[in-house]
Amino acid sequence: MLRRPRTPGQTFFSRLRTFFRRRFLDLTFLGITLAVALGLLALLTAFILVLLNASRLAIDRFGLALLGEPRWAPSAGHFGFLPFIDGTLITAAVGLVIAVPISLGIAIFLSELAPRWLSEPLGYLVELLAAVPSVIFGFWGIFVLVPVMRTTIDPALASANASVNQALHVNIPVFTGPILGSGVLTAGVILAVMIIPTISAISREALRAVPSPQREAAFGLGATQWEATRISVLSYARIGIVGAIILGLGRAVGETMAVTMVIGNSDFVPTSLFSQGQTIASLIANEFLSTYSNPLTASAFLEAALVLLLITLTINIGARLLVWRLVRSTGGGGIE
Amino acid sequence: MKFDRDARRRVFNWIVGVLCFLCVVAALVPLLSILYTAFINGGHVLSLSFLVSKENNVGVCFPGDPASCSVGGIGPALYGTGVVVGLASLMSVPVGVLSGIYLSEYGRNALGRSISFFTDVMTGTPSIVVGLFVYATFVYIARTVVFSALSGAVALAIIMVPTITRTTEEGLRLVPNTLREGAYALGIPRYRAVLQIVLSSGRSIVVTGVVLAVMRAAGEVAPLLVTAFGSSLGFTGVNEPAGLLGPLIFFDATGGSSLLVSAAWGASLVLILLMLGISLLARIALRNRFK
Amino acid sequence: MLGEPLTRNNVNHDGAPSKMVVEGLSAFYGSKKAVSGVSLGFREHTVTAIIGPSGCGKSTLIRCLNRMHEVVPGTRIEGRVLLDGEDIYRQDRVSVRRRIGMVFQKPNPFPTMSVYDNVAAGLRLNGMRKRAVLDAAVTKGLKQAALWDEVKENVYGPGIGLSGGQQQRLCIARALAIEPEVVLMDEPCSALDPIATAKIEDLIFDLQKTYTVVIVTHNMQQAARVAEYTAFMYLGELIEYDRTEKLFEQPTQKLTENYITGRFG
C-alpha cells in the first residue's frame, strides 16, 4: 500500500475513507475490464452454442450424414454438404499449392536477400494486398482473372493434361471438362493471391527470429547466401513457417466474397479443376437469402455455418499454437 | 580437397535470388492489376455528385438517348456504410479497448494468456459465419430486426472486437514499465495510472488499430448479406435494412448491365483509395512511434 | 608466394614465413572506427593470441581475417589482409572462408542436425556426397577436436544434445572437417566451464602442428598457456606484438604493462 504524506486537516477516518474508495475504484476497474475480456470468451462459446441450437432441426433430421451426401437440392428435400466440403477443400488446396512457394520466396527475399532500403517498401506493398477487400478481389476476378484463365491458362493446362494422358495411356481428369474461365481452379488462384500476404508476413517473422550466430556458423564454413539460408535459417524457422502456412489455410477456408464471384456457383461435387463449384462459405452467401423462409432449409444452412466454424477453429487453434510465441514476441497484434 | 563446384554454387545462388525476387513480382502483379483496372474502369465515373448525391438512380435514362443513362451515385451507400460502421464502432471500440487493457495490464497470468490466445483465434473466424450467428441470435431474441442496420452493425462489431482487443493489448504492452512504476511511486491509484498515463502513452498504436479495424469493417460484405440486407435507400432507420458500399459493389458487379458495372468500379475505386490511404497513414504513424 | 616476415616492436619471426599478413587494416561500423591502422603478421603453424580490454577491437579484427565482418550491413574496411601473399578481399569470399575457418564465442551447432551432419555440413556444402569420404572426414574432424571418444557411440544424435564444452568442440570439428589452412577462434572458451576450457586449450595447442591458429581471448593466462605470439590491442590500435613470454615479462609499452598488471581492463 502506498502511503501518502499527511496533509493537515485530514483525520484518520477521512484518510481511511479515501484509501478504501481508491481500492474500490481500482477493483471496479479491474472488474469491468475483466468482465469484458471474459465476455470475449463467452462470445466464442456463444458462436458454437447459438449455431448448434439453430441447426438443431437439421441435425435431428439428418445428423452427420449431411457431410457425406453429395446431392444438394433443398426444395426436393436433398441436403448434402459434400459438394461444398469438396469445394472448400479443393479451392483451399489449390490456393496453398500456389501460395506457399511464392510466399516462401517472398519471405526469403525480403528477410535474407534484399537490402533494407528495398525490403521495407516491397514488404509494405505485399502487405497492402491484405488491405484490399474481398469483394473487390472478386470483382477483379470476374473481369480480369476469369477471362485470362479462360483464354490463356486453362487451355494450356487442358492440352498439357491431354498430352500427359495420351503419353501415359491414362485418364487423369485434373484439367478436363468445359472451359468457362470460372471454377474451382480460378477460385483457388484468387485465394492464393489473398493468402500470400498472411503466409509471407508470418514466415518473415519466423526467419527474422533466427539468431545471427546460426547464420554466421554457415557463413564461416563458406556458404553462399542461399546455402546459409537453407542450412541454418530455414530449418530453424521450420515451425514458424508451418504455422504461417496453416494460418493461411484457415483464411482460405473462410474466404467468402472473392470465391463466390468466380467459382461458378454450381451445387455439384466438382469432378475436375475446371468444374464450377461452391464452397461452404459461398453457398451461404449465394443461397441463404432465397431459402431462409423454410425453417428446415435455414437450419441446414446454419449447420453448414457450424461445420465451417468448427473447421476454421480447429485450423486456427492448431496454427496459433505453433505461431503463438513468434507473433507475441514481435508485438504483431495486427497480423492475422 | 577438390572444389570444382564453386562456380556452380555461385550461379545457383544467383538463380535462387532471382526466383525469390520473381515471387515478389508475382505477388505484386495482382495488386497493380487491381489498381489499374479500378482506375481505368472506375475513374471516369467519379465525380462529386457520384459521391454525395442523394440519388441512387442507376440506369435511369432519358428515353431514346442511350448515352444519357446515368450511372447513379453511391451517396446513399456511403451514408449507410458510415452509419452502420459508426454504430458498430460505438459497440466494438469500448469493448475491444477495455479487454485489451485488461489483457495488458492485469492479465499477465494463465487466464489472460488463454483469453489472448482465443481472441487471436477469433480473428480468423469467417465473417459469413459471424453474419449467420447474428442472424440466428436475432431470430431468437428480436425477430423484427433480423434484417436491419442494427444487426449489420452488431455483426461488424463482433468482427472488429478481436482485432481491436489484440492491437490494444500489444500496443499497451509496448509502453515501458518504468512509466507505470513512476506513476505508482507518485501514489497514483492503479486504475488512474492505466487510464491516464498508460493509455495516453500507447494512444497512437491503439488508435491505429481501431482505425484499421474500422476500415476493414467498411469493406465487409459477407456478413452484411445475411443481416443488413442491402437496399438502395441508404440508411432509413436502425431497424430497417440499409444500403451499404460493400454489398452495393457485389450486386452491381454481378448485376449484368454495364452501367451497374461501371458504378461498381467507381465504388470500388473509392473503397480501394480509402483503404490504401488509411493503411499508408497507419504505417507512417506507427513507424514514427517506434523511432 | 609467401609474404615477407614482418618486423614490429623488435619482433622478428626468426626468418619464419607469415601465413597471414594484415597491412594497415582499419575496420568501420558505419562511421565508427573499430580497428585503426593495424599491421602484423601471423606466423605459420603457430598459435597467435590477441588480447586487450573490452571494446579494443580484437573481435572486429579477427572477423576481418575471414571476411565475416562484412556479414553485418554498413561495414567496410581499409587496408589489406593477405593470405599467402594474396589479398583475401580481392578473392571470392566463399573460397576464402573455406581456407580460413572460424569458431565463435558461443557454440553454435546447427540445432536441427545430428553430430555427424554438423561436422559434415561444410563438406556437403562443397558438393561432397560420397559416404566413404564423409565418414572419414567426420571421424578425422572429431578426433582432431578431441570429441571422437565421447560421441562415437552416438554420432547420429542431435548436435545440441551435447554439453557446452562438447558443443564447442563439435563446432571446432565442423570447422576442421573442411581442412582449412588457418583457424580463427573468437573467445572460444568464454562461455565454458574451467574443465571444458582446459580440454579446449590442450586442443588448441595441438592444432598448431597442422594449422595456423589465431585466437582472441580476454583471459591473459589463457594466452600465456597456449600462444607462442601475442598481440595487445587497445582502442582499435595494435599497441604491442611479441613472443608471449617477452610480452608478459618485459613489455616495451607502458600501456601493455598496465594492462598486464591489472591496472585496467
pLDDT per residue rounded down to tens, chain B (291 residues): 455 677 888 888 899 999 999 999 999 999 999 999 998 888 877 777 677 666 555 555 555 555 555 556 777 778 888 888 999 999 999 999 999 999 988 878 888 889 999 999 999 899 999 999 998 888 888 777 677 788 888 999 999 999 999 999 988 888 888 888 888 888 777 888 888 888 888 888 888 889 989 988 988 888 888 887 665 555 566 666 667 888 888 888 887 777 778 888 888 998 898 888 888 888 787 776 654
Nearest chain B Cα distance for residue A190, angstroms: 9
pLDDT at residue C1 in the model: 22
pLDDT at residue B192 in the model: 81
CB contact under 8 A, C94 and B6: yes
Residue B238 lies in a domain: yes
Long-range contacts of residues B139-143, Cβ cutoff 8 Å, at least 24 apart:
B139/A54, B140/A50, B140/A54
pLDDT at residue A279 in the model: 92
Residue B216 lies in a domain: yes
* B36, B101: one domain: no
Which residue carries 573490452 as its cell? C54
> Average pLDDT for residues C233-239, to the nearest whole number?
90
Residue B62 lies in a domain: no
Residue range A145-195, pLDDT digits in tens: 999 999 998 888 888 888 888 888 888 888 888 888 889 999 999 999 999
Task: Find the distance separating the first CA and the last CA of chain C, reported in whole Å.
Answer: 39
Which CATH number is B136's domain given? 1.10.3720.10
Task: Count structural domains, chain B.
Answer: 2
* A246, A297: one domain: yes
CB contact under 8 A, C113 and A235: yes
* B12, B124: one domain: no
Please give the DSSP secondary-structure letter assigned to residue B254.
T
* B8, B134: one domain: no
Residue A209, pLDDT above cutoff 70: yes
In this structure, the strands spanning C100-103 and C182-186 are: parallel
- Report the chain B residue with the minimal C-alpha distance to residue A330: B170
Nearest chain B Cα distance for residue A33, angstroms: 5
A327 vs C45, more confident: C45
* A34, A78: one domain: no
Residue B108 lies in a domain: yes
Find chains touching chain A: ≥3 CB pairs under 8 Å: B, C
pLDDT at residue C261 in the model: 87
Q: Sorting pLDDT into bands at 50, 70 and 90, what band is C167?
A: very high
Please give the DSSP secondary-structure letter assigned to residue C158.
B
* A43, A140: one domain: no
Nearest chain C Cα distance for residue A118, angstroms: 14
HSE (side-chain half, CA atoms, 13 Å) at A171: 2
Task: Count structural domains, chain A.
Answer: 2
pLDDT at residue A317 in the model: 92
Q: Number of CB pairs < 8 Å for B and C?
A: 21
In this structure, the strands spanning C11-12 and C7-8 are: antiparallel
* B118, B229: one domain: yes
Residue C256, pLDDT above cutoff 80: yes
Alpha carbon distance A231, C117 (integer Å): 11
Residue B70 lies in a domain: no
* A170, A199: one domain: yes
pLDDT at residue A146 in the model: 93
DSSP 3-state of C37: strand
pLDDT at residue B62 in the model: 55
Nearest chain C Cα distance for residue B19, angstroms: 20
Residue A235: which of C101, C104, C112 has the nearest Cβ?
C112
Alpha carbon distance A218, C101 (integer Å): 11
* B27, B82: one domain: no
* A32, A67: one domain: no
Query: Which amino acid makes up residue A139?
Result: F
Residue B231 lies in a domain: yes
pLDDT at residue B198 in the model: 83
Residue C172, pLDDT above cutoff 90: yes
Percentage of chain C with pLDDT > 90? Answer: 39
> Average pLDDT for residues A68-74, to the nearest whole number?
82
CB contact under 8 A, C92 and B3: no
pLDDT at residue A141 in the model: 93
* A102, A37: one domain: no
Contact status of C94 with chain B (Cβ, < 8 Å): yes
Residue range C64-79, pLDDT digits in tens: 999 999 888 888 899 9
* A146, A102: one domain: yes
Sequence-separated (6 or more) residues with CB below 8 Å from residue B290: none
Residue A1 lies in a domain: no
Alpha carbon distance A250, A247 (integer Å): 5
Alpha carbon distance A68, A87 (integer Å): 13
Contact status of B166 with chain A (Cβ, < 8 Å): yes
Residue B128: which of A53, A133, A285 has the nearest Cβ?
A285
pLDDT at residue B3 in the model: 55
CB contact under 8 A, C104 and A220: yes
Residue A10 lies in a domain: no
Residue B6: which of C92, C128, C178 has the nearest Cβ?
C92
For residue B150, give its domain range: 75-290
What would the grid cell of residue A212 be?
545471427
* A305, A274: one domain: yes
Contacts of B1 in chain C (CB under 8 A): 123, 126, 128, 178-179
Q: Sorting pLDDT into bands at 50, 70 and 90, what band is A330?
A: very low
Crossing angle between the packed helical segments A184-208 and A238-254, to the nearest 10 degrees: 150
Residue C121: which of A216, A224, A231 has the nearest Cβ?
A231
Interface of A with B in 156-195 (CB under 8 A): 193
* A196, A290: one domain: yes
Contact status of A113 with chain C (Cβ, < 8 Å): no
pLDDT at residue A252 in the model: 94
Query: To which H or E segment does residue B178 belong?
Result: helix B177-185
- ipTM confidence score: 0.86
CB contact under 8 A, C92 and B5: no
Nearest chain B Cα distance for residue C62, angstroms: 25
Find chains touching chain C: ≥3 CB pairs under 8 Å: A, B
pLDDT at residue A324 in the model: 74
**Whole-prediction pTM:** 0.84
* B279, B215: one domain: yes
Residue B51 lies in a domain: no
The widest CA-to-CA distance across chain C, in whole angstroms, is: 56
Residue A59 lies in a domain: yes
Q: In the 3-class helix/strand/coil scheme, how is chain A assigned residue by residue?
A: CCCCCCCCCCCHHHHHHHHHHHHHHHHHHHHHHHHHHHHHHHHHHHHHHHHHHHCHHHHHHHHHHHHCCCCEEHHHCEECCHHHHHHHHHHHHHHHHHHHHHHHHHHHHHHHHCCHHHHHHHHHHHHHHHHCCHHHHHHHHHHHHHHHHHHHHHHHHHHHHHHHHHHHCCCCCCCCCCCCCCCHHHHHHHHHHHHHHHHHHHHHHHHHCCCHHHHHHHHHCCCCHHHHHHHHHHHHCHHHHHHHHHHHHHHHHHCCHHHHHHCECCCCCCCCCCCCECCHHHHHHHHHHHHCCCHHHHHHHHHHHHHHHHHHHHHHHHHHHHHHHHHHHCCCCCCC
In the sheet with C100-103, reading across from the earlier edge strand, the strands are C100-103, C182-186, C212-216, C47-51, C229-234, C237-243
CB contact under 8 A, C127 and B9: yes
Alpha carbon distance C135, A187 (integer Å): 51
What would the grid cell of residue A15 be?
484518510
DSSP 3-state of C147: coil
DSSP 3-state of B200: helix
Residue range C66-119, pLDDT digits in tens: 999 988 888 889 999 999 888 999 988 888 998 999 999 989 999 888 999 999
pLDDT at residue B71 in the model: 59
pLDDT at residue B162 in the model: 93
Residue B209 lies in a domain: yes
Q: Sorting pLDDT into bands at 50, 70 and 90, what band is C56?
A: confident
* A111, A34: one domain: no
pLDDT at residue B127 in the model: 92
Strand residue runs (E) in C144-261: 182-186, 212-216, 229-234, 237-243
Nearest chain A Cα distance for residue B56, angstroms: 20
Task: Find the distance separating the first CA and the last CA of chain B, reported in whole Å.
Answer: 50
Alpha carbon distance C243, A199 (integer Å): 57
* B161, B31: one domain: no
* A33, A127: one domain: no
Alpha carbon distance B4, A55 (integer Å): 68
- Mean residue pLDDT of chain A comes to 86
Nearest chain B Cα distance for residue C226, angstroms: 29
Interface of A with C in 204-233 (CB under 8 A): 212-224, 227, 231-232
In this structure, the strands spanning C212-216 and C182-186 are: parallel
Residue A227 lies in a domain: yes
For residue A85, give its domain range: 55-329
pLDDT at residue C7 in the model: 45
Which CATH number is A100's domain given? 1.10.3720.10
DSSP 3-state of C35: strand
Comparing C-alpha atoms, which of B171, B167, B250 is closest to residue B215?
Answer: B167
